[in-house]
Structure 1
Amino acid sequence: MAPTSARRSGHSRRAQYGLFTGYVLAAIGAAVGAILLGVSLWRPSSFNGLRGAAADTVAPVGEASAAGRAGGQGLFDSIAGYLAAGSQNAKLKQEVELARIRLKEAEAVKTENARLKALLGFSESETKPVTVARLIGSSAASTRRFAYLSAGKNQGVGIGMPVRSPRGIVGRVLEVGANSSRVLLLADSESVIPVRRSKDEVVAFAEGRGDGRLRIRLINLGINPLKKGDVFVTSGAGGYYHPGIAVGILQEVTGDGGIAAVISDPAATDYVAVEPIWQPEAIKAAQTPVEKAIEE
């Protein structure tokens, strides 16, 4: 007897029917395909309805796929836009910082121009300035308070000449070089200047304390009439300073006067005007022979 694997299909009637049915279905499929091909070539519009139905069937799937693609593209665009916005924001921030720096520089130039104009305005007053110079430095760490000017004998500066800013008195010239000078500031412990209250004739002496402030000592002792906020100006006594120039503003009231702040702070002053001594004859008359020799 032959092995099972070697048997022919004809030995099984069921197998023969199955094989025959397959052939018939293949022939029918081929015939139907040929007919449909012929109809599509002869009348292409005949399958429009079928194609529309098929398109309607797969449309939701296509929409979901398109939405996914759009969302993914939008996500990538958002990430790219975020990265680009980050670099743009950094650049804009840098530009804003530079603009702020330029604005501050312009404000500084504007302020300096205003100070120079105020100093130049001194020339229109009765007292003509000897020169206008830059305040190139000042001491602030000891009881001795000095400042240094970028002008000296070559610019006409002399010992004893008042030095003032647009706000008020800074001090007076103590030593003179060829092109530089040393100024005794009002706050120096050896500085004494006659003053009066601006609104009346209350007279006093403004003495430097060495700490940036002034001690106001009343000449006429008794009831202290001073109040916080009182402004003191030069009285003209002594002959050095022209009367009426701002000196200090009272901050504290004491038994014999008060404590005042210097109105013209050297630390906030760039340019100053050196003025001639108001009454040089009176000063020379009051000097001793030794003082005259030193000055000469």
Structure 2
Amino acid sequence: MAGLLYIVATPIGNLEDLSLRAAKILQSVAAVACEDTRQTAKLMAAAGAHRPLISLHEHNEKERSQELIDRMLAGEDLALVSDAGTPLISDPGFRLVEAAVAAGVRVSPIPGPSAVLSALSVSGLPTDHFAFIGFLPHKSAARQKLLESWGQIEATLIFFESPHRILETLEEIAKMYPHRRLAAARELTKIYEEILRGKAAEIHATLAARPSIKGEFTLVLERHNPEQNEANPAQPADLKADVERLMAEGKSRMDAIKLAAKRAGLNKREAYELLEQSKDKTKPI
């Protein structure tokens, strides 16, 4: 009889968040597959689990998966963990689970901590519809393109960002979605846990004033609201400034107006009308 593959969620900072069931599974399986054996060794010690650890990361997952499948087909139960949180969520493991399903091996979830759901639950933003994007692209152009496309769906958006790029990303969000609420969570469940809430520009100002920024961020962005223009109508001066910024970046006048209108939730006719209101005879657009 084939064994099982347990997908075990692990603490995202506080070891006390490891569930009793998760600890029991880690104590009972034949071996545990993990990203970093040194990191998981600490978790295993806290759980009182003395089982062999098998390295499974993005560089060896494809090759190692078959080895693990063979062991489970031979009757062994194995567990998969990530360094923190629920495996496969912006972490390795998909190839192993895909191969296990294809081989007829039962895959069983052991639910627990998740930075995604933890940040969403304390964001103060709607939770009925949400989308997890994962890590944002490193390059600004790709990041802005992604934010523009996902920013038009009616769902709260969740994504990860590093401390090295957080200010640049917040600046981009502030330009694209100046009226949307945002929550920036870092060090969740740890001693220095922090959740910053407000508009992107406000959070940017708070972080920019610090001598250093530490900890990976989970950002939760307010959803697109088709009726938001009524609550936060686009201002002629703001639209004009956005068009001028885009033209300075090399976009044609027409493309700049189209993109600025899209960011403000306007159609082209509405955008032109606002630009007429803001027209400066000494510096026409």
TM-score by length of 2: 0.28
Rg larger for: 1
Which structure shows the higher strand fraction?
Answer: 1
TM-score by length of 1: 0.27
